[in-house]
Amino acid sequence: MQINIILAGVGGQGILTIAAVIDLAALNSGLTVRQAEVHGMSQRGGAVQSHLRISDREIYSDLIAEGTANLILSVEPLEALRYLPFLASNGKVVTSTDPFINMEGYPAMEAIQSELHRTNNPVLVNAAELAREAGNARTSNMVMLGAAAPFTAIAPEKLESAIEELFGKKGPDIVAMNIRAFRIGQELSQPQATAS
Protein backbone atom coordinates (compact mmCIF):
# COMPACT_ATOMS: atom_id res chain seq x y z
CA MET A 1 0.00 0.00 0.00
CA GLN A 2 1.26 3.42 -0.90
CA ILE A 3 -0.71 6.69 -0.96
CA ASN A 4 0.66 9.97 -2.31
CA ILE A 5 -1.19 13.14 -1.31
CA ILE A 6 -0.53 16.69 -2.46
CA LEU A 7 -1.89 19.23 0.01
CA ALA A 8 -2.33 22.67 -1.53
CA GLY A 9 -3.32 26.12 -0.44
CA VAL A 10 -2.15 29.65 0.21
CA GLY A 11 0.44 30.51 2.87
CA GLY A 12 -1.39 31.10 6.13
CA GLN A 13 -4.45 28.93 5.29
CA GLY A 14 -3.26 26.14 7.56
CA ILE A 15 -2.68 23.14 5.28
CA LEU A 16 -0.03 22.00 7.76
CA THR A 17 -2.75 21.36 10.36
CA ILE A 18 -4.41 18.95 7.92
CA ALA A 19 -1.02 17.35 7.28
CA ALA A 20 -0.37 16.99 11.01
CA VAL A 21 -3.65 15.09 11.51
CA ILE A 22 -3.00 12.69 8.61
CA ASP A 23 0.63 12.19 9.70
CA LEU A 24 -0.36 11.31 13.23
CA ALA A 25 -3.18 9.01 12.14
CA ALA A 26 -0.87 7.20 9.73
CA LEU A 27 1.85 6.82 12.35
CA ASN A 28 -0.73 5.52 14.85
CA SER A 29 -1.87 3.01 12.22
CA GLY A 30 1.66 1.62 12.10
CA LEU A 31 2.39 3.11 8.67
CA THR A 32 5.47 4.91 7.39
CA VAL A 33 5.13 8.62 6.68
CA ARG A 34 7.18 11.23 4.81
CA GLN A 35 5.77 14.73 4.58
CA ALA A 36 7.61 17.59 2.89
CA GLU A 37 6.38 21.10 3.55
CA VAL A 38 7.21 24.66 2.54
CA HIS A 39 8.64 27.12 5.07
CA GLY A 40 10.03 30.59 4.45
CA MET A 41 9.08 33.23 1.96
CA SER A 42 6.09 31.51 0.31
CA GLN A 43 4.36 31.31 3.67
CA ARG A 44 3.66 35.03 3.28
CA GLY A 45 0.51 34.62 1.19
CA GLY A 46 2.19 32.70 -1.63
CA ALA A 47 1.25 29.33 -3.12
CA VAL A 48 2.21 26.57 -0.69
CA GLN A 49 2.08 22.82 -0.97
CA SER A 50 2.97 19.76 1.04
CA HIS A 51 3.86 16.34 -0.33
CA LEU A 52 2.53 13.67 2.01
CA ARG A 53 3.40 10.02 1.44
CA ILE A 54 2.06 7.07 3.40
CA SER A 55 3.14 3.47 2.96
CA ASP A 56 3.38 0.11 4.68
CA ARG A 57 6.96 -0.14 3.37
CA GLU A 58 10.01 2.07 3.46
CA ILE A 59 9.57 5.39 1.66
CA TYR A 60 12.69 6.81 0.04
CA SER A 61 11.74 10.10 -1.56
CA ASP A 62 10.22 13.02 0.33
CA LEU A 63 8.77 14.27 -2.96
CA ILE A 64 6.00 12.78 -5.06
CA ALA A 65 6.81 12.02 -8.68
CA GLU A 66 4.69 13.56 -11.44
CA GLY A 67 1.62 11.56 -12.41
CA THR A 68 1.62 9.52 -9.19
CA ALA A 69 -0.50 11.46 -6.67
CA ASN A 70 -3.58 9.54 -5.56
CA LEU A 71 -5.10 12.67 -4.10
CA ILE A 72 -4.84 16.43 -4.40
CA LEU A 73 -6.41 17.96 -1.32
CA SER A 74 -6.68 21.71 -1.76
CA VAL A 75 -8.18 24.34 0.51
CA GLU A 76 -8.37 26.78 -2.42
CA PRO A 77 -9.78 25.99 -5.90
CA LEU A 78 -7.13 27.67 -8.09
CA GLU A 79 -4.36 26.03 -6.04
CA ALA A 80 -5.84 22.59 -6.78
CA LEU A 81 -5.15 23.20 -10.47
CA ARG A 82 -1.54 24.26 -9.93
CA TYR A 83 -0.52 20.69 -9.03
CA LEU A 84 -2.43 18.73 -11.69
CA PRO A 85 0.82 17.43 -13.27
CA PHE A 86 1.27 15.35 -10.11
CA LEU A 87 -2.15 13.71 -10.29
CA ALA A 88 -2.22 10.02 -11.27
CA SER A 89 -4.59 9.09 -14.11
CA ASN A 90 -7.01 7.58 -11.56
CA GLY A 91 -6.23 10.19 -8.87
CA LYS A 92 -8.84 12.30 -7.11
CA VAL A 93 -9.12 16.05 -6.58
CA VAL A 94 -10.84 17.19 -3.41
CA THR A 95 -10.97 20.96 -3.17
CA SER A 96 -12.67 23.80 -1.40
CA THR A 97 -14.55 26.12 -3.75
CA ASP A 98 -13.84 29.23 -1.63
CA PRO A 99 -11.48 31.43 -3.64
CA PHE A 100 -8.63 33.28 -1.93
CA ILE A 101 -7.89 36.28 -4.10
CA ASN A 102 -4.71 38.17 -3.24
CA MET A 103 -3.24 38.78 -6.68
CA GLU A 104 -3.96 40.22 -10.09
CA GLY A 105 -5.65 38.16 -12.78
CA TYR A 106 -7.49 35.63 -10.63
CA PRO A 107 -9.53 33.65 -13.18
CA ALA A 108 -13.32 33.47 -13.26
CA MET A 109 -14.80 30.85 -10.96
CA GLU A 110 -16.61 29.19 -13.91
CA ALA A 111 -13.28 28.69 -15.69
CA ILE A 112 -11.74 27.12 -12.58
CA GLN A 113 -14.77 24.86 -12.13
CA SER A 114 -14.61 23.69 -15.71
CA GLU A 115 -10.91 22.84 -15.39
CA LEU A 116 -11.62 20.97 -12.14
CA HIS A 117 -14.33 18.95 -13.87
CA ARG A 118 -11.78 17.67 -16.38
CA THR A 119 -10.40 15.54 -13.54
CA ASN A 120 -11.90 12.26 -12.48
CA ASN A 121 -15.19 13.09 -10.66
CA PRO A 122 -13.77 15.79 -8.34
CA VAL A 123 -15.16 16.48 -4.88
CA LEU A 124 -15.98 20.19 -4.64
CA VAL A 125 -16.65 21.46 -1.15
CA ASN A 126 -18.21 24.72 0.01
CA ALA A 127 -15.95 24.47 3.04
CA ALA A 128 -16.52 27.83 4.70
CA GLU A 129 -20.29 27.42 4.72
CA LEU A 130 -20.09 23.87 6.06
CA ALA A 131 -17.58 24.99 8.70
CA ARG A 132 -20.00 27.63 9.94
CA GLU A 133 -22.59 24.86 10.14
CA ALA A 134 -20.16 22.96 12.36
CA GLY A 135 -19.91 25.98 14.61
CA ASN A 136 -16.89 28.02 13.41
CA ALA A 137 -15.52 29.11 10.04
CA ARG A 138 -12.05 28.19 11.29
CA THR A 139 -12.90 24.49 11.14
CA SER A 140 -13.01 24.56 7.33
CA ASN A 141 -9.75 22.62 7.16
CA MET A 142 -11.34 19.78 9.09
CA VAL A 143 -14.33 19.85 6.72
CA MET A 144 -11.82 19.43 3.89
CA LEU A 145 -10.03 16.62 5.69
CA GLY A 146 -13.37 14.88 6.24
CA ALA A 147 -14.23 15.20 2.55
CA ALA A 148 -10.84 13.74 1.60
CA ALA A 149 -10.83 11.05 4.28
CA PRO A 150 -12.21 8.22 2.09
CA PHE A 151 -9.29 8.68 -0.32
CA THR A 152 -6.48 8.63 2.26
CA ALA A 153 -6.58 4.87 2.94
CA ILE A 154 -6.65 5.67 6.65
CA ALA A 155 -9.57 4.57 8.81
CA PRO A 156 -11.79 7.56 9.72
CA GLU A 157 -11.65 6.55 13.40
CA LYS A 158 -7.86 6.91 13.27
CA LEU A 159 -8.23 10.38 11.78
CA GLU A 160 -10.75 11.32 14.45
CA SER A 161 -8.47 10.16 17.27
CA ALA A 162 -5.64 12.16 15.72
CA ILE A 163 -7.90 15.25 15.73
CA GLU A 164 -8.64 14.59 19.40
CA GLU A 165 -4.96 14.18 20.18
CA LEU A 166 -3.90 17.32 18.32
CA PHE A 167 -6.71 19.63 19.49
CA GLY A 168 -6.96 18.07 22.97
CA LYS A 169 -5.01 20.85 24.64
CA LYS A 170 -7.55 23.40 23.43
CA GLY A 171 -10.38 21.79 25.34
CA PRO A 172 -13.30 19.39 24.66
CA ASP A 173 -15.46 22.03 22.93
CA ILE A 174 -12.84 22.72 20.29
CA VAL A 175 -12.31 18.98 19.79
CA ALA A 176 -16.06 18.36 19.40
CA MET A 177 -16.41 21.21 16.93
CA ASN A 178 -13.55 19.94 14.78
CA ILE A 179 -14.89 16.37 14.84
CA ARG A 180 -18.29 17.74 13.81
CA ALA A 181 -16.66 19.57 10.91
CA PHE A 182 -14.75 16.42 9.92
CA ARG A 183 -17.98 14.38 9.84
CA ILE A 184 -19.85 17.00 7.80
CA GLY A 185 -17.07 16.82 5.22
CA GLN A 186 -17.10 13.05 5.28
CA GLU A 187 -20.85 12.85 4.65
CA LEU A 188 -20.45 15.11 1.66
CA SER A 189 -18.01 12.87 -0.17
CA GLN A 190 -19.42 9.53 0.99
CA PRO A 191 -21.61 8.98 -2.11
CA GLN A 192 -18.68 9.61 -4.44
CA ALA A 193 -16.32 7.50 -2.36
CA THR A 194 -18.60 4.47 -2.58
CA ALA A 195 -19.24 5.07 -6.28
CA SER A 196 -15.55 5.13 -7.25
Burial bucket for residue 142 (CB in 10 Å: 0-12, 13-18, 19+): buried
Identity of the residue, 17 or 190, whose beta carbon is nearer to other proteins in the bound complex? 17
- Nearest approach, Cβ of residue 61 and other proteins (Å): 4
Is position 66 an interface residue for other proteins (rule: CB under 8 A)?
yes
Candidates 136, 161, 190, 192; binder of other proteins (CB under 8 A) is: 136
> Which amino acid appears at position 12 of this protein?
G
Identity of the residue, 115 or 133, whose beta carbon is nearer to other proteins in the bound complex? 115
SS3 label, residue 174: helix
Is position 90 an interface residue for other proteins (rule: CB under 8 A)?
no
CB 143 within 8 A of CB 184: yes
Which positions from 106 through 135 interact with other proteins, judged by CB under 8 A?
Answer: 106-107, 111-112, 115, 118-119
- Taking the C-alpha atoms of residue 81 and residue 118, their distance in angstroms, rounded to an integer, is 10
- Nearest approach, Cβ of residue 35 and other proteins (Å): 4
Q: At what angle do helices 172-195 and 140-148 cross, to 10 degrees?
A: 30
Angstrom distances, CA of residue 46 to CA of 62, 93, 101, 108 = 21, 21, 11, 19
Is position 1 an interface residue for other proteins (rule: CB under 8 A)?
no
**Given the rule CB under 8 A, which residues bind other proteins?**
10-11, 23-24, 27, 32-47, 51, 59-68, 78-79, 81-82, 84-88, 102-107, 111-112, 115, 118-119, 136, 138-139, 167, 169-171, 174, 177-178
